[in-house]
Amino acid sequence: MRRKIIKKISGTGLIGIAQKAGQLLVSAILARSLGAEDYGVYAYALSVIVILSLPINAGIQQVVIRETATFELNHDWGLLKGLLQWSISVVLGISILVISLSVGIVLFFINDNSGILDPKTFMIAILALPIDSLSLIRTALMRGLRHPVSAFLPEGIVLPWINIALILWLLLHERSLSPPHAMSARLLSSMISGFLGFILVLKVIPKEVFSSHVNYHIKGWLSAIVPFTLFYGINLINTQADIIMLGFFRRPEEVGLYQSCIQLILPLSGIMLTINSVISPYISRFYEQENRAELAKISTLGARVSLFIFMPFCLIYIFKGQFILRNLYGDIFAQAAPALMILSGATLVNVAFGPVATILNMTRNENESLKGILLSAFFNLLANLIVIPRYGIIGAAITTLISYLIWNIFLWIRLRAKLGLDSSIVGFHSL
């Protein structure tokens, strides 16, 4: 079992590396082509879209992963069919509502002189909401069915690298690039990757699902979604608060500088997400089977594999961050090196505690995760309001580091109390 899990981690890890390398290259090309100010406009529009995706995606992805793993284990094909139909309907319905409200607000209240939020860039970006949301449902289904490699292929390989090709084509033909042009390239890339994902998911859905009589457990799914929604939403706000507040309190250039650091950290976060996506259905299965020994092994395995991969990158960022920023993004971005160093430390903190939130969520202890993220978010928002106006990107980075510590320590304590597990790299279990 361990060998199979490591093999899947390796496969999804390679896709994750390719994805984050593509995203990093996109950010470097855009930063150099747009300049710090326009790149800040582009990054800010994406951050606003991420916040708007909250009521659409919410906690539905985690519910689909967990319930799919359980339904496959018990061969409840009718419930799996119902879960898919229900989740797709919810995502499409809320997407239409969010787009309608957002477009109305932009048309009536925001113009070209309203600040960092550019109406044209925003209007193009919001069109990707239903496409990206449906892709999350498709990915969750494939992860729950233990096909993580196929699940991440469209967004991991196709989207970023098609995006690069389109941006380069625009630069070749237009000679210059604007934020709306860059966002249009991303929208088209999302459409292409979404179509490929649809083809792939049809190949992995068990045939019994199509022929089974559909059943629903909407009340149970809604009750599970509530804590997941709160967790996902607060975590989303938690991770985007610094960018949003930098755009509000500081200059657009600082948003661009901070975003360059985020883009360098994202490949590492993506690797952790990849590892967690592989072990999530196994955690759910082992918990349902009451196999605590395997549950303990897989929790420690996730932390140690992550640390083995992360450590070299974080050390390079800490000691050579200025060199990387200057050569990848341009001379003006080298001043963000201290923020990159602090964010690298925050990433190591996250890795050291292991997949603690994933384990709690997959073992029906999502309320504990919610408590932890609430505590962390309260500190993050309050601290950012105090330090960002005065200290800018350094204050934002320090706040991120401390909020990661608060969150992980709290969740680690609750995991020990609930399951007797230690998800950290130390891995001391009291089963």
pLDDT in tens, 370-391: 888 888 888 988 999 999 999 9
Q: Is the pLDDT of residue 429 over 60?
A: no
> What is the percent of the chain where pLDDT is above 70?
93
Residue predicted with more confidence, 302 or 13 = 302
Tokens of 429: 């279990």
* 424 occurs within a structural domain: no
pLDDT at 399: 93
Q: Encode pLDDT of 74-98 as tens digits.
A: 888 999 999 999 999 988 888 888 8
Q: Which of 154-163, 278-287, 337-346 shows the highest mean pLDDT?
A: 337-346
pLDDT at 430: 46
Q: Is the pLDDT of residue 320 over 80?
A: yes
Q: Are 278 and 9 in contact (CB under 8 A)?
A: yes
* 429 occurs within a structural domain: no
Phi, psi of 290 (to 5 degrees): 60, 35
Q: Are 334 and 389 in contact (CB under 8 A)?
A: no
Q: Encode pLDDT of 303-314 as tens digits.
A: 787 788 778 888
91-100, 112-121, 180-189, 370-379: segment of lowest average pLDDT: 112-121
Per-residue confidence band for 158, with pLDDT thresholds at 50, 70 and 90: confident
155: nearest Cα among 65, 276, 274, 60: 274
Q: Mean of the pLDDT values across residues 122-131?
A: 89
Q: Which helix (H) or strand (E) holds 125?
A: helix 119-126
Q: Is the pLDDT of residue 143 over 90?
A: no
d(CA 2, CA 34): 46
pLDDT at 431: 45
Tell me the HSE value of 402 on the side-chain side, using a 13 A CA sphere: 16
Measured CA distances, 284 to 62, 72, 146, 355, 420 (Å): 11, 11, 11, 13, 16
Q: Which of 118-122, 145-149, 185-189, 309-313 shows the highest mean pLDDT?
A: 185-189
* 426 occurs within a structural domain: no
Q: Mean of the pLDDT values across residues 121-135?
A: 89
The boundaries of the domain holding residue 146 are 2-419
Q: Is the pLDDT of residue 235 over 80?
A: no
Measured CA distances, 42 to 27, 118, 124, 218, 241 (Å): 10, 8, 11, 38, 16
Alpha helix segments (H runs only) across 205-291: 207-211, 218-249, 252-288
Q: Is the pLDDT of residue 183 over 60?
A: yes
Phi, psi of 205 (to 5 degrees): -70, 125
In the predicted model, what is the mean pLDDT of the chain?
A: 83
Q: Is the pLDDT of residue 36 over 90?
A: no
Q: Which helix (H) or strand (E) holds 340?
A: helix 337-352
SS3 annotation, 5-21 = HHHHHHHHHHHHHHHHH
pLDDT at 253: 83
* 411 occurs within a structural domain: yes
Question: How many structural domains is the chain composed of?
Answer: 1
* 49 occurs within a structural domain: yes
* 381 occurs within a structural domain: yes
* 430 occurs within a structural domain: no
* 427 occurs within a structural domain: no
